[in-house]
Amino acid sequence: MSITLTSLLESGRKEVTALQQEGRGKILIVVAFPWALLLGSRMALPVLLPYIQAEFGLSLSIVGLLVSLLWLGGAIGQLPGGILADRYQEGLILTLSVGLVALALIAVILAPNAAGLFIAVTLWGFATSLYPIARITILSETYPDRLGSALGLTMATGDLGQTLVPPIAGALAAVFVWQAGLGFIIPLLAIGGLGIWSIVPRSTQTASSTETSSLDTARYVLKELRRSIMIFVSFILVLFFFFWQAFTSFFPTYLVVEKGVSTTMASLLFGMFFAAGAVVKPIAGMAYDRIGMRWALIIVLLGPVGGLLLLPIVERLELIVIVTLAISTMLGNGAVTQSFVAEQFPAEIQGTGLGAVRTMAAMIGSTGPVLFGIVADRGFFNEGYVALAVLLMIVILLTYRMPHPRRE
């Protein structure tokens, strides 16, 4: 066991060293830091839902709709974000996304009523969605031989943000007002945007370098999407997005309502969930680089199936912690699937292709929170999580039966 652990640590050290070579480490850092803030702020919303629900007098179903709008806004912007990433400089798109998120958070904080809140949250989701495709394309260009590891590391940084931001947001909401839980993020976003603008290269993509017309690009992307492997993987992503958005939207509320933990403890457990992901994602990325998507994805999804089946029956806090950690291995999914999908598209349409796939998956998946909220409103919180475990079993089976890709 010690030999295995030593080998794993040595392999990780070599990967980090390789990612820093030729000055590429600065790009990785300035791309990863705002990503941590964007994901952290998004996951602060579930922690703040009990306060928002009380202030605006919302039911669980309507709260689920609010979260669905955050995800739906995030889905709508994926394709435009991908097209922009193919046509313009990634640094410009990344900076634009960060700036718009800061403005959207101000609108959420100042929302005078539920209608204003819902509009601001939708804009927040849209602004966030401009970031991930440009992040992937700039990393694909910067690390053509280590995309899985680079994505895994930035995703781990994202999980660090999701680990720290929700508990901080929950603590600020408990001490002051729920708006403080989002307000502290805004100046940090400004710092992140300045870092991107200063360091990310501005010569990777330009509109003039795009030789094909928009119509030709669309035809090219559609041709790639019609391949059997892409249809298969896209369906897997739809199921996973539905699962992911339903689970994360209500997990803190579930812990408070069904398990009787305090809102502070629920936010800490939610943060711990993402802290574990910060460990899982780099390992999942390295696994993808070495053994491919099929087995890497199956491995990271086995823990969540067991954890979700046990979640309704465990009551002691220490057992809830163990189950939460088991479920957290699903966070390795992104490092595997997004690396795989990125490599299935030629470089000239990579952003547009990724955007198309993620838009479709995220739009359908955004129905997860509202449907789960309806189930929870009717008293079937536990049964809802068992149903999510069954959904993951289907994903595992489909992954096992996945056709061999053209590029892997």
pLDDT, residue 104, reads 95
Asked if 228 contacts 347 with a C-beta cutoff of 8 angstroms, the reply is: no
The answer to whether 330 and 274 are in contact (CB under 8 A) is: no
Sign of CA dihedral 111, 114, 119, 120: positive
Tokens for 407, please give them. 């590029």
Say how many C-beta atoms besides its own lie within 10 A of residue 248's C-beta: 21
Determine the Cα–Cα distance for residues 356 and 114; give it in Å rounded to an integer. Answer: 31
Of residues 48 and 156, the one with the higher pLDDT is 48
220: pLDDT confidence band, cut at 50, 70 and 90? low
Which are the contacts of 278, defined by CB distance < 8 A and separation ≥ 6?
156, 157, 159, 160, 163
The backbone torsions φ and ψ at residue 291, rounded to the nearest 5 degrees and listed phi first, read -120, 0
State mean pLDDT over 339-352. Answer: 69
**One-letter amino acid for residue 90 of the chain:** E
Token pair 């996973």 in the structure block, residue: 240
- The pLDDT score that the predictor gives to residue 119 is 93
Token pair of 260, please? 């009787």
Separation in Å, CA 34 to CA 95, 135, 189: 9, 10, 6
Q: Judge if pTM exceeds 0.75.
A: no
What is the per-residue pLDDT for 373?
Answer: 84
Residue 16 identity = V
Highest averaged pLDDT of the listed ranges 3-12, 184-193, 231-240, 248-257: 184-193
Distances (CA, A) of 382 to 25, 51, 296, 311, 372: 44, 23, 29, 8, 11
Q: Is the pLDDT of residue 341 over 70?
A: yes
pLDDT value at residue 1? 40
| pLDDT value at residue 217 | 63
| Token pair recorded at residue 355 | 């955007």
Chain segment 64-95, per-residue pLDDT in tens = 888 888 888 887 877 777 777 767 777 788 88
Token reading at 38? 């964007």
* Residue 109 predicted with pLDDT over 90: yes
Residue 103 burial (CB count, 10 A): 14
Which of 270, 190, 237 is CA-nearest to residue 339? 237
125 by Cβ neighbours in 10 Å (0-12 / 13-18 / 19+) ranks as buried
Contact 403, 229 (CB under 8 A): yes
Handedness of CA 183, 154, 360, 303 (dihedral sign): negative
Q: Which residues contact 384 (CB under 8 A, 6 or more apart)?
A: 246, 372, 375, 376
Q: Span 221-240, mean pLDDT?
A: 74
Q: How far apart are CA 34 and CA 209, in angstroms?
A: 27
Question: If you write DSSP's letter for every residue of 93-105 in order, what string do you get?
Answer: HHHHHHHHHHHHH
Q: How deeply is 17 buried, as exposed, middle or buried, from its count of CB atoms within 10 A (0-12, 13-18, 19+)?
A: exposed
Residue 215 above 60 pLDDT? Answer: no
Report helix angle 333-343 to 263-291, nearest 10.
Answer: 40
Within its chain, how far is the Cα of 304 from the centroid? 16
What is the identity of the amino acid at 299?
Answer: I
Check residue 4 and give its pLDDT.
53
SS3 track for 278-317: HHHHHHHHHHHHHHCHHHHHHHHHHHHHHHHHHCCCCCCH
Structural domains of the chain ordered from first start: 22-200+215-400 (1.20.1250.20)
Q: Nearest to residue 81, comparing CAs of 45, 118, 144, 125?
A: 125
CB 24: neighbour CB atoms within 10 A?
Answer: 16
Q: How far is CA 379 from the centre of its chain?
A: 28
317 pLDDT higher than 70: yes
